[in-house]
Each structure stands twice: as C-alpha cells, then as structure tokens.
Amino acid sequence: MKKNRLLALGLASALTLGLLAGCGGKPSAPGSTSGTGGDKSNSGAKPAGGVELTVVTSYGGDDGNRSNYENAVASYEAATGNKIMDASGTSNEEWKAKVLTDFQTGTEPDVLFFFTSSDAEPIIQAGKVVDIATIRATYPDYADNMRDSMLAVASDGKNYAIPSSGFWENMFVNTKVLSDCGVAVPGPDYTWDQFLADCETIKAKGYAPIACSLFEVPHYWFEFCIMNNGTLGEQLAIPGSATDAVGQKWAAGLNDIKDLYEKGYFPVNTLTATDAETVQLFAEGEAAFLIDGSWKINYFVDNYGDQLSDYAISYVPAKGERKASEAIGGISMGYFITKKAWDDPAKQAAAVEFVKHMTSDDVMSTFVTTEVTALKNGASPSGLNPLQQAAADANASITGVIGPVQDTITSESRTDLFANVQNVVTGKMSAEDAVASALALN
Amino acid sequence: MGPTLYRKKAPLIAFLLPAFVFLILFLYYPFIQNIINSFSDITGLGAPAQGLNTPWYANYATLFTDPKLRTALGNTVLLTICTVIFQVGIALILALLVDSIRVGAQLFRTLYFFPIVISATALGLMFNLIFLYNGGMLNQLLTNLGFAAENIDWKDPDHFLFTMFAPVMWQYVGFYFVILVTGLNNISQDLYEAAALDGCTGLNRVRYVTLPLLRNVLCTCLVLAITGSLKVFDLPWVMFGAGMPQDQGWLTGTYMYDQTFNRGNVDYGSAIAILIVVLGVLFSNIANRVFKPRNDI
C-alpha cells in the first residue's frame, strides 16, 4: 500500500518537474540550436566538434537562387564540419513579419539574410544584431572584399549587413506572345500610350496582356506607376498626407493600376490568383508582360530552361517626365549576425565564417549575373544564358536606377497599402483613402 | 485495495496537479494576459505594451465598427450553420448506410476517417490545385465535359463561400462519421429484431428506432461541430490567405491572425481573440441547452 502511494507520488512529482523543466528560461547550451526552423536542441545530434547554426534567408521556396544557396551552404558545411539548420522562406510581407516576430519573441536565428532598409530598423534599434565595426574589431578581415561605401547605413549611422547580390526590377516580355500578336518588343523609349495600344491588341488576340496578381504582389506596378507620375529623383519621397503633391502622385499611380484593371489587361483572376499562378501564366505563353526582379531569371532557367529564348527583358512603359530606361534597383538585402550568436562563444566564429563564406567572391559570383554588386573585384559569373544576356543588354540601356519607395515605409503601412490595391481597383475605396490609410500606420 | 486508494484523496490530487499546473501556465495565464493586452497599446508581437489604449476600451469599440470583422462574423456564423447541416448531416447519412451493410464496413470506416489524419496545410494545397483557375481539376472537368464554356474563378466573390466551406466540411465528415458509427454499434440488435416483428423496417426503422437511440451521440456531435467551426483557421488560411476575395473571405480566426501577425496590431488581435472566446462559450451553451442529452435513453 505504502509502496503504491510512494509510486503514485513519485510519478506525479516527475510529471510536475518535467513540466516545469520545460518552462525553464535558460538559454540553450552552446552548440545546440534555437530558432525558427523546427530545428532540434539536441546536442546528441550535433556532429562531433561541429557547431549548429540556425540561418534564415529569403532563398526558400521557389526562389531563383535556391540551388545556388544550397550549394553554397553545402560547401560551407563540407569545409568547416559545421551544420546549417536552414529555416529560409519566400520573401513576402508575411515572411518579413514572421522574421521580426521571431526576434521579438527571442527565437531569432544566428545568421539572418534580410532587408537592410527600414524593415531591419526594429531589430537594429532593439540591439538584436551586431554592427560590422564591432565584428571587425575581433575579425579584421570580415567583409574586406566589399566596398564599404556600398554598405547599407542604419538610422544610427552604423553598418550592420554585408550586402549580397543587388537587384533590378524591370519588365519581362514573352516574345512568342508578342510575335503572335504582331507587337514589337518594347525598347527604352516605350511610352504609356504605346503600351495601352499594345495591351488592347494582345487582349483582342485572347491573351492576358499583363501577368500580375494584384492580390499578392501589386508592388512592382505600384513602384513604376508612381514613378510615372513623378520623376526618378522624387521616387523616394514619402507623402506627408494623401492630399500633398507626393500623396497625389501615389494616388495617381494607384489610379493608373485601376485603369489597367478596368480595361481588362490583368488576368481574369488577378484578385484571387497567387504570384506563382500569374508568373506561370506568363511563362507558359498565356500572358505578354510581367514586371519582376532579377531573381526571377533563375526561376525561368530552372523551370523553363528549354524555352529561354521565348523571354526577353524589356522596359516598363513611361509617361510624364520619366523615361522607360529608368528602373528600380540597388542592393536591398544582406547578411546580419545576431547578438545571440555573437555572444555565444561556441557560435561566434562559426557565424562569422559562414557570412564570410556566403559573401566571398567565389560564392557571390554564383549569385550575381546581371545585378549590382558591392564586391571590390566585381563578380565573375561563368557565362550568361540567353535570358541573362537579354537582361545584360537591357541594363546597358538603363539611364537611371533608384531603390523602391516601399522599402522606406513601415511594414504595417506597406501591408495596408498593398492590401488595399484590390479595393482601389474594384472601386470600393478611393486611391486617396488608400494612401491616407497607409500613411496613418507609417 | 481499490476502495482504500480512493478514500484517501492525496494521491488523486497529486495526479491531478501536473495537468492543473499545465493549464494554469499555458491556458489561464495567457488568457488573462490576453485580456490585459486587449486594453493595451502593443505594436508588435513580443514588444512591450506602451501603456493602456486611449480610451482603454478603444479596441472593443472598434469591434462594433470594423466592417471586416462584421464580414468575418457573418462568414463564421454561416460556416457554423453549414457545419451542422452538412458535416454532421452527411456523417449521419454515411454512418446509417455503413451500419446497414455487413461487407466492407471496416473499409468505409477507414476511408471516411482518412482525411482527418492529413494535415490541413496539405489538404489546402491539394484543394488549391483542384480549384485552380488555369488547369485546375474542376475547371478541366467542367470545360471538357461541356458544363462550362470557360474557366470559373472559384475564389471570386460569387464562388468563394463554396470553395472555402466545401473542403472544411469534407475534412471533418469522417470524424463525426466514426463517432456516429460507434453510437450505432451500441444499439442492441434485439431492438431492431423486435421492431422488425412489429413491421417496422427501412426508413421507419431509422425514424423510430435508430435516431431516438442515437440522440445523445448526435447531440455530442452537434456541440463539437458548432464549437469547432468557430475555431476553423488553417484550411481557409492556406487556401485564401488574407481575406480573399476583396476582404469578403475573412473568418474570425483568419482575421485575428492577420491583425496580430501580419499587421502587428497585437492589442486589437487580442480583443478579437476575446470575442472568439465569448462567442465560443455562448454558442456552446446554446448548443448544450438545445441539444441537451437525455438520461432516459
């Protein structure tokens, strides 16, 4: 009897202690992992002498550089014996919010590849990432292959991220569709009126003129449409209100998108389709124009490698003072080392080595083909495929590049603005109200 | 030994303690904190509160004026009604049919229960492919068989309710099916034989013998279905994301998630969570009263 009681109490105590032990707030042991990727804090699974690093990047999903990233990670693991717990995702507003939430809840990764714009300010201001000067005090050769003048400067005047490859945003065209419609591939003098006329012709032929999901990724068209209602130099101006000059420019840009929607130039399901669906529409020859970024080239190489000659890089039609040869671009992402990894003696060197490896000339040359780079020696891509060559040709005629204005507003403001594009184009909300709503959250 | 053990309460309390501590830590403490959060000004998950809102009940006032929340509530109530009619209704019909066959009953049980073991994310992706506009299974079938002249946008304002609700119904039919089949198995064959001697067969047997004896099990299913439908989140989120189409597709669960995680409006998300809890308690109480199990069965 006594035995049973003791057994019962013992079991209950073990259960209670086990439960409370799970709630303990002690940091994980050096070498174990913590973070976002469903990884395990099991030191037993750790390779002998190796370090496990949790890494979050935007090279997840169907990112065009996914295979380059995997190869680079594999070569780092082979060279160091360390293990990378990859928790990468696909870059969108939800992903950005999740990354920031991980930092706020103390489950940040050891190394983060993230936007260097206002998106990173919350983690910088919270002291969650380490600035480059501090890292160089211990590791003097950290990022010494990069041009310091091209490192992103945070609001406190310090540099935190080692830039990876840059990007450009421009218009992809499906040459097969254009040819079938008797429409010429647009040149650097392409005007908005010509574009509208071409869209009408393409639509009459039964194709969708523009491949775009206004539900998921209206931001490419937003950037160019507001530039069309202003100038390249004014692109980064933020409205003080929906009624001032910049606010009116934003509203006019939104109304241009509405005009395209009302004319039926977007896919029928543009308000319910995902980005992947509309890109596929373009890739498979059912849509003519697609505004996207340099990262999309590898998507076509990976998925439509045998028909790359069907695509070309062209220019986004211009109106007003803007020239079609002016585009969006720059370097907006880079590698951060988190304070958590830096303060962990077992992880510090491994994290530094990982970033140095990922931003080395050799690795960067597998990512950079036609994009801007901060490498002192430049990138040495090995041969360009037809689409990359088309991009290089188009870039040769680019007369001006500016960063996206969406990177300068808060995540909440941006989410609200782009979520309301569908309401603007369907007439449920005026463009001015959409701008005012977004500014209220900035 | 048994009676002695239960006369002394200490061991029982010791066994109850872990679960009690667990609930305090992971249910009641977060719940109380959530109530406090709903009155506070919080701009990011994990970020400290910037004091109380001005006025302190601002979020609750917003609940009454927020058109998206109104949409979410409307859709959720509709989903609850559909759940009762279709989920439990179809499960009942299937259970009655399977109960009346002798060969293959076990096979059907497994087949109908199978959707429960598949993750909602996987189901969402599968149904996305079925309802895809270009090349989706349903559109291909309809156009190739001549039932539709052109593709249908199954997620547009005219079709989204069907597209959202059908997979949710389909996913949980098997769950209620298994409960009801178990209930049917507990009905004694003697009763059916006696009814048959009285000339009660076919639908009359179902009407006058099966359903009255199944009442308590059916009531449990209805209460579970109603309270469960208030918490539906995963499948609609995977298929529709943030309010598709044009802010008409919100459910209370998806709207709360969007406000909290995507928009950083944590305090308002907390207020919506409180509303969901209040509705859950209210609905389950009503359901319990309406479908009160009878002890005389």
Out of A9-23, A60-74, B218-232, pick the least confident.
A9-23
Token digits of residue B195: 């009814």
**Right CATH number for B52-290 from 1.10.3720.10, 3.20.20.60, 3.20.20.70, 3.90.226.10?**
1.10.3720.10
3-class state of residue A146 by DSSP = strand
Question: What H or E segment, with its residue span, contains residue A335?
Answer: strand A333-337
Asked if A23's CB is within 8 angstroms of B11's CB, the reply is: no
pLDDT at residue A131, as a whole number: 96
How far apart CA A121 and CA A158 sit, in angstroms, is 12
* Domain-wise residue ranges, chain B: 52-290
Pairing of strands A111-115, A167-174: unpaired
Out of A65-74, A371-380, B152-161, B262-271, pick the least confident.
A371-380
Given a cut of 80, whether residue A294 has pLDDT beyond it is yes
Tell me what percent of the residues of chain A surpass a pLDDT of 90. 58
Numbered residues of chain B with Cβ closer than 8 Å to any chain A Cβ = 1, 4-5, 8, 10-11, 14-15, 17-18, 21-22, 25, 43-47, 132-134, 151, 153, 155-156, 160, 241-247, 261-265
Residue A141 CB-density burial (10 A; 0-12 exposed, 13-18 middle, 19+ buried): exposed
Given a cut of 90, whether residue A430 has pLDDT beyond it is yes
How far apart CA B98 and CA B178 sit, in angstroms, is 10
Q: Minimal CA–CA distance to A39: which of A27, A53, A25, A50?
A: A53
Residue predicted with more confidence, A348 or B287? A348
Token digits of residue A355: 């970033």
Classified by CATH at the fold level, domain A169-328+384-440 comes out as: D-Maltodextrin-Binding Protein; domain 2 (3.40.190)
User: Residues 6 or more apart from B186 whose CB is under 8 A from it?
Assistant: none
Whether the ω angle into residue B245 lies within 30 degrees of 0, i.e. cis, is yes
Neighbouring C-beta atoms of residue B163, cutoff 10 Å = 25
DSSP E strands, A274-317: 287-293, 311-314
User: Residues 6 or more apart from A395 whose CB is under 8 A from it?
Assistant: A168, A313, A370
- DSSP code of residue A32: -
pLDDT at residue A291, as a whole number: 96
Same fold, A52-166+331-367 and A169-328+384-440: yes
Owner of token pair 């969402």: B124
Which pLDDT tens digit goes with each residue over A300-346? Answer: 988 998 999 999 999 999 999 999 999 898 888 999 999 999 999 99
Asked if B47's CB is within 8 angstroms of A272's CB, the reply is: no
Q: Minimal CA–CA distance to A151: which of A331, A19, A283?
A: A331
How far apart CA A143 and CA A376 sit, in angstroms, is 10
Given a cut of 60, whether residue A40 has pLDDT beyond it is no
pLDDT at residue B63, as a whole number: 94
Neighbouring C-beta atoms of residue B196, cutoff 10 Å = 12
Q: Are A87 and A38 in contact (CB under 8 A)?
A: yes
Q: Are B165 and B232 in contact (CB under 8 A)?
A: no
- Alpha helices by DSSP H, listed for A186-244, are 192-204, 219-228
Out of A118-122, A229-233, B62-66, B142-146, pick the least confident.
A118-122
Given a cut of 90, whether residue B295 has pLDDT beyond it is no
DSSP E strands, A91-188: 111-115, 162-163, 167-174
Which pLDDT tens digit goes with each residue over A228-283? Answer: 999 988 899 999 999 999 999 999 999 999 999 999 999 999 999 999 999 999 99
**Right CATH number for A52-166+331-367 from 3.40.190.10, 3.40.309.10, 1.10.3330.10, 3.30.70.1170?**
3.40.190.10
Which pLDDT tens digit goes with each residue over A201-238? Answer: 999 999 999 999 999 999 999 999 999 999 988 899 99
Average pLDDT over residues A360-372: 84
How far apart CA B233 and CA B258 sit, in angstroms, is 11
Alpha-carbon separation of residue A113 from A30, A107, A411, B118 (angstroms): 22, 15, 17, 33
- DSSP code of residue B188: -
Residues 201-230 in A contacting B (C-alpha not used; CB under 8 Å)? 215-216
How far apart CA B243 and CA A419 sit, in angstroms, is 9
Alpha-carbon separation of residue B151 from A177, B28, B44, B143 (angstroms): 21, 49, 41, 7
Given a cut of 90, whether residue B22 has pLDDT beyond it is yes
Nearest-by-CA chain B residue for A6: B11
Q: Are B250 and B67 in contact (CB under 8 A)?
A: no
Nearest CB among A93, A280, A426 relative to B262 is that of A93
User: Residues 6 or more apart from B77 whose CB is under 8 A from it?
Assistant: none
Asked if B133's CB is within 8 angstroms of A273's CB, the reply is: yes
pLDDT at residue A35, as a whole number: 37
* Minimal CA separation from A98 to chain B, in Å: 7
Q: Are A120 and A151 in contact (CB under 8 A)?
A: no
- Binning pLDDT at 50, 70 and 90, where does residue B10 land? confident
Asked if A15's CB is within 8 angstroms of B262's CB, the reply is: no
* Domain-wise residue ranges, chain A: 52-166+331-367, 169-328+384-440
Average pLDDT over residues B19-35: 94
Pairing of strands A287-293, A326-330: unpaired
ipTM over 0.90: no
Whether the ω angle into residue B55 lies within 30 degrees of 0, i.e. cis, is yes
User: Residues 6 or more apart from A431 whose CB is under 8 A from it?
Assistant: A250, A251, A252, A254, A255, A258, A424
How far apart CA B10 and CA B16 sit, in angstroms, is 10
How far apart CA B11 and CA B4 sit, in angstroms, is 11
pLDDT at residue A32, as a whole number: 37
pLDDT at residue B293, as a whole number: 65
Residue predicted with more confidence, B184 or A379? B184
Residue predicted with more confidence, A51 or B47? A51
Distance of CA B218 to the CA centre of its chain: 15
pLDDT at residue A22, as a whole number: 46
Query: Is A380 near chain B, with CB under 8 Å?
Result: no
Alpha-carbon separation of residue A240 from A247, A250, A402, B252 (angstroms): 7, 11, 21, 34
Nearest-by-CA chain A residue for B153: A269
Average pLDDT over residues A41-66: 72
Give the count of Cβ contacts less than 8 A between chain A and B: 99
Question: What H or E segment, with its residue span, contains residue B3?
Answer: helix B2-7
- Binning pLDDT at 50, 70 and 90, where does residue A380 land? low
Which pLDDT tens digit goes with each residue over A136-163? Answer: 999 999 999 988 887 888 889 899 999 8
How far apart CA B17 and CA B157 sit, in angstroms, is 51
pLDDT at residue A283, as a whole number: 96
Q: Are A115 and A121 in contact (CB under 8 A)?
A: no
How far apart CA A83 and CA A62 sit, in angstroms, is 23
User: Residues 6 or more apart from A107 whose CB is under 8 A from it?
Assistant: A34, A35, A36
Q: Minimal CA–CA distance to B97: which of A412, B212, B89?
A: B89
How far apart CA A21 and CA A29 sit, in angstroms, is 15
How far apart CA B26 and CA B288 sit, in angstroms, is 26
Contact list, B241 vs chain A (CB under 8 Å)? 215-216
User: Residues 6 or more apart from B217 whose CB is under 8 A from it?
Assistant: B179, B180, B182, B183
pLDDT at residue A7, as a whole number: 58
pLDDT at residue B156, as a whole number: 94
Packing angle, helices B160-185 and B211-230, rounded to 10:
140
Average pLDDT over residues B9-29: 90
Given a cut of 80, whether residue A370 has pLDDT beyond it is no
Asked if A412's CB is within 8 angstroms of B134's CB, the reply is: no
Strand ordering across the sheet containing A52-56 = A83-86, A52-56, A111-115, A333-337, A162-163
- Binning pLDDT at 50, 70 and 90, where does residue A33 land? very low
How far apart CA A293 and CA A302 sit, in angstroms, is 16
Alpha-carbon separation of residue B159 from A184, A383, B170 (angstroms): 38, 49, 17
How far apart CA B235 and CA B149 sit, in angstroms, is 29
How far apart CA B62 and CA B37 sit, in angstroms, is 15
Contact list, B8 vs chain A (CB under 8 Å)? 5
Whole-model pTM? 0.79
* Minimal CA separation from A82 to chain B, in Å: 31
- Integer-rounded Cα radius of gyration of chain A: 25
User: Residues 6 or more apart from A115 whose CB is under 8 A from it?
Assistant: A96, A332, A333, A407
User: Residues 6 or more apart from A219 whose CB is under 8 A from it?
Assistant: A404, A406, A414, A418
Which pLDDT tens digit goes with each residue over B87-124? Answer: 999 999 999 998 888 788 888 888 888 888 888 889 99
pLDDT at residue A2, as a whole number: 57
